[in-house]
Amino acid sequence: MLRAVGESSITAGLIILLFCAYLLWGTGGYTEDQQLLLQRQLTEERPAETPRLGRIQLGTAVAMLRIPRLGRDYRYAVIEGVSTEDLKKGPGHYPGSAQPGQIGNFVISGHRTTYAAPFKRIGELRRGDEIIADARDARYTYRVTKQEIVRPDEVEVIAPVPGKPDARPSRAVITLTTCHPEYSAAQRLIVHGVLKRLELRKD
Amino acid sequence: MYGWLWRRLPGNTGVKLLVATVLVAIAVAVLWFAVFPLLEPAVTLDEVTLFG
């Protein structure tokens, strides 16, 4: 009897460990597959006509995000939408927030521990670091201005003028959001940046 | 539990070991590819968006 209890407990423990391994590494495979599809959308397809109201369809790729500080190979296709399903595929752009390069706040959320953890290391970003958004029409280069840690309900950080929900935007800024501390949903880590450079695509 | 299973596996120790390994691999695969994806949404250790 005691032996059976012991064996069951050890088995349960091993299964829980395996589940943790799945969360950290098993979920990334799905993201990588989906990223291939989204990145292909960005490089191959050009929308036949400008989407109505300049809005991008939910679930499609918005831009390629590159952060040189996090490595030369750091690139993720940003998907339009921040639903659970969207975020499994890559960093998500808040629908309704500014488009890349537009006046206002270009807000992107990404996972920090699961699903390939695209924003795992955004805490390492320092003032002045580049955040590059390669959109279909142009390359927009933002520079990090500040970092903050907020409660999950402090939505003013993603307002068109971060921190001032009622203000009218006059600058193009970018905001990255992820969970904080790592492995927790208690707070959010926020990185702000401001548009510094715009290079139109030649093709 | 495991002792009981072990005694029921066929063959000599080598064969038993092989069969046991395959059984463990099957159990892990079922958990990894079928059970864990169902459990995963219930774990909210990676909430990244803001809500008002």
CA distance linking residue B23 with residue B45, whole number of Å: 31
Q: pLDDT tens digits, residue range A143-157? A: 999 999 999 999 999
Q: How many CB pairs below 8 A link A and B?
A: 75
pLDDT(A95) > 70: yes
- Considering CB atoms only, which of B40, B44, B51 is closest to A27? B40
What's the total number of domains in chain A? 1
Provide ipTM, 2 decimals.
Answer: 0.88
Query: CATH no. for residue A67?
Result: 2.40.260.10
Q: pLDDT tens digits, residue range A145-199? A: 999 999 999 999 999 999 999 999 999 999 999 999 998 889 999 999 999 999 9
A22 neighbourhood in chain B, CB within 8 Å: 31-32, 36, 40
| Structural domain range at position A149 | 29-200
In a domain, A12, yes or no: no
In a domain, A21, yes or no: no
In a domain, A7, yes or no: no
Cβ of B41 under 8 Å from any chain A Cβ? yes
CA distance linking residue A2 with residue A4, whole number of Å: 5
**How many C-beta neighbours within 10 Å does residue A183 have?**
15
CA distance linking residue A65 with residue A91, whole number of Å: 9
What is the rounded average pLDDT of the residues A76-98?
95
A154 neighbourhood in chain B, CB within 8 Å: 50
Q: Phi then psi for A28, rounded to 5 degrees?
A: -65, -30
